[in-house]
Structure 1
Amino acid sequence: MLVGVLSLVMGFQNAITTMISRARVRTTHVSGMATDLGIELAAMLGPEQVRRGALPGLWLHGLTLVAFAVGGVLGTAIFLGLGNWLLPILGAALLALALPDIARVHRRRA
């Protein structure tokens, strides 16, 4: 049951983040972000124009990976205190934060 709910919440997170970022970030695919980060790091070895173009992606993917690491540590610590209540609390918070953007996307498509 817990794995099913976690999968559902991860799907929500991925869909909402994809909508908010206009498909630039898919947060449940860490290996893809690590690959993109590697590409941006390699681009930093190129000419000045390429480096300038790579810098925003480097920051985006780097900070996203750092956020994953920090979230993993904090999530573990909080889970030890709250137990299984953590999942619905965070799911509700994420949904509340995303509702304005979800509404914006639906208005734009209509």
Structure 2
Amino acid sequence: MEKPGRIEKAFDVLQNLLETDRPYVSSEEVFRGYLFASFISLTTYYVVLNFLQDHEVNNRVSVKDVLFEFSKIRIKDRGHPAFSEIPKKVRELAEELKVENIMHKIWES
């Protein structure tokens, strides 16, 4: 049997890892929005996967783990934007991926 191509892998990621399902929508606009959100999700998945592969940690850390851990970072506004306390696991993961200064880079842009 042939190895699945890139398109088949992308659909597999959409269905199984990103858990997209058959859209039950009532209008074309909603369907287009659903497709757009799915496309953004798929693009983000592959950007993170490529980053993990470049840093040779994709055998220890999954895309889902990275997105879940980094989703714990919150922004608080106390007159000026500031990040909440960064959880220890996120700090360790950021160090391993060599992105520990990412929060500073986000604010500078």
Higher normalized strand content (fraction of residues): 2
The normalised TM-score by structure 2 is 0.34
Q: Highest relative contact order (Cα 8 Å, sep 6+), 1 or 2?
A: 1
